[in-house]
Every structure is written in structure tokens, then in C-alpha cells.
Amino acid sequence: MTNNRIDSLFAQKKGLLSIYFTAGYPKLDDTMTVLTALQESGVDMVEIGMPFSDPLADGPVIQLASLNALNNGITIKKLFEQIKDMRKTITMPVILMGYINPVMHYGIEKFMADCQKVGVDGVIIPDLPFDEYIEHYKDMMDSYGIHYVPMIAPQSSDERIRYIDSKSAGFIYMVASAGITGNIKASLDTRTQYYQRIKALGLKNKAMIGFGIKDKASYEHACQNADGAIIGTAYIKNLTENGIAATKQFVSAIR
């Protein structure tokens, strides 16, 4: 398999910060501008959200950004056009995140081939179940050098987490607590217990914590318990309220 930027990053660094943003938002042609601003602000990795009309795992902030982006005219095809030359300037790992229906409609194999072509390193597809991925898509994705980033949640059993870990590469996306993006209710104590349970499993893969990470404190707490953290909703909020130019300020307030 080709050397994936995700693997190189995790081999070099800890306390990683990954930021999620929605493609085609705030304006249709902002995708590359936001991506560039995030790299210049020093984030380690990005997830570009591919908007879907019915994003089940997302709270109101990302739902609204998705809806606006769709109204702006974003499609998967358009996104690939926007990022086709990104590797001329973007050196950090790039992950595409979205729901299965639009990806399936685009054609899963074509999607993976295009990911490889433009230099995408991994995909997060929350509603493509792990078992479905293993059975139908793993070999194909491996052949294009694309990591499928699996999610685990506090309700996932040890057995299930070990199974997911054993079949995965890249990193595992630890959902911080039961909930949708931007709306996490669990206390820090409850989360710590869950993080410690995962630590005790001694997984082979690196792990990033996401959902409910919104500021310096939650970022640092996540970094104490995993290899890094993913921020989505809080950044989208900042983007909506303060624009792309405020990216640097947002990132430096976190670390």
C-alpha cells in the first residue's frame, strides 16, 4: 500500500488537532479558501464534510451549514473539481466525511478512485456500517490507498471495539459520548471513564476524539486521553459568525 499521509502524521506527532468544515460553505467556492486558512493556522488534519439532505448524526449547526451548502450548489462532483489541485499546496492529511447515499449515488468505486486522484487520504462515512464495509468495500478501498476511519461510541462493547481495531488502519474516531455533533451531554467524568476503558484495551490503532470538542479545555482533555481531537460544530459556528479570516484566531485559542 502507498504511504498514507494519515499514517505519517500519527507516526510523527501527538496532541493532534483536526478540524471539520462543510464543503461549499459559507459560499460555494470557499472550500479551498477554508482549507488553506486551516493549514496556515497550523491544524494537523482536516475533514471536509460532503453535505447530505438528511444528516442523521449531526446537530443543528452542521445541518444548517449542509443545507446552505446544498443550496449553494455543492455536489460531490463539484467538490472534487474544487480540490483537484489541492496537493500543490496542501500537505496535511485530508479526509472526506459524508453519508452513504450521495457517495453510493456517485459510485463508490469512482468515488475512491477520485479520492486517490486528488490526494484524499481517508473517508468517514458514519452510516456505512463497519461490517458492510469489511464485506463489500475494504479490499477496493485498500486498492486505492484510502483509509476507512471507523467510529466507536461509549455503548460499543469491548468485543466490538477490538474487532473494529483489528480490521482497521489509520485511526479510530472515538465519539466522545452518546449524542449528535455539537450536542454532548455526558459529564467530563463519564467521558474520562469511557476513555480509560478504551485505553485499557490497548488498541493497535491511534485514536482521535470527536463530538462535543469545542474549546481549549475539551481539546486538552481529549489529548490527555487519545492522540488528538476533532472539532466541527464550534468551527462552523465561528465560520458563520466571524468568517474565514477568523480561522487563525479560532485555532490559536485552542492551542
Partner 1 sequence: MSKYSVNSNGYYGRFGGQFVPEMLYPNVDNLKKVYQEILNSESFQKEYKQLLKEYVGRPTPLTYAKRMSAAYGTNIFLKREDCAHTGAHKINNAIGQILIAKQMGKTRIIAETGAGQHGVATATVCALVGMKCAVYMGEVDIQRQAPNVARMKMLGAEVIPAMTGNRTLKDATNEALRDWISNPEDTFYIIGSVVGPHPYPDMVAKLQSIISEETKWQFREQTGKDLPDYVMACIGGGSNAAGSFYNFLDDESVKLVAIEAAGLGLDTPDTAASIARGTEGIIHGSRTMLMQTDDGQIIEPYSISAGLDYPGVGPLHSFLAESGRATVLAATDQEALDAAFELTRLEGIIPALESAHALAGLKKIDFKSTDNVVVTVSGRGDKDMATYMDRFKL
* Beta strand spans in 89-157 (E): 94-98, 122-124, 147-148, 151-152
Does the footprint of partner 1 cover residue 28 (CB under 8 A)?
Answer: no
- Please tell me the count of residues contacting partner 1 according to CB under 8 A: 40
Query: Applying CB under 8 A, does 53 fall inside the site for partner 1?
Result: yes
> Which C-beta is closer to partner 1: that of 129 or that of 243?
129
- Nearer of residues 103 and 203 to partner 1, judged by Cβ: 103
Respond yes or no: is residue 47 known to be catalytic.
Answer: yes
Q: What single letter denotes the amino acid at residue 225?
A: N
Q: Which of 30, 44, 58, 227 is catalytic?
A: 58
In the complex, the smallest distance separating the C-beta of residue 175 from partner 1, rounded to whole angstroms, is 6
Binding segment for partner 1 among 138-146, 152-160, 198-206, 239-247 (CB under 8 A)?
152-160
CA dist., res. 119 & res. 146, Å (int) = 9
Q: How many CB atoms lie within 10 A of CB 20?
A: 24
Site string for partner 1, 118-137 (x = CB under 8 A): --------xxxxx-x-----
Q: Give the amino acid at 3.
A: N
Residue 109 is among the residues annotated as catalytic for this protein: no
Closest CA to 154 of 183, 196, 206: 196
Q: In what order do the strands lie in the sheet with 94-98?
A: 147-148, 122-124, 94-98, 45-50, 16-22, 228-231, 206-210, 171-175, 151-152
Whichever of 22 and 247 has its CB closer to partner 1, that residue is 22
State the minimum distance, in angstroms, from the CB of residue 167 to partner 1: 14
Q: Which residues of 195-207 are buried (b: 16+ CB within 10 A; e: fewer)?
A: beebeeeebebbb
Rounded CA separation 189/23 (Å): 34
Task: Name the site residues for partner 1 (rule: CB under 8 A).
Answer: 52-54, 56-57, 59-60, 63, 67, 70, 75-77, 100-106, 126-130, 132, 150-153, 155-157, 160, 175, 178-180, 183, 185
Active site residues: 47, 58
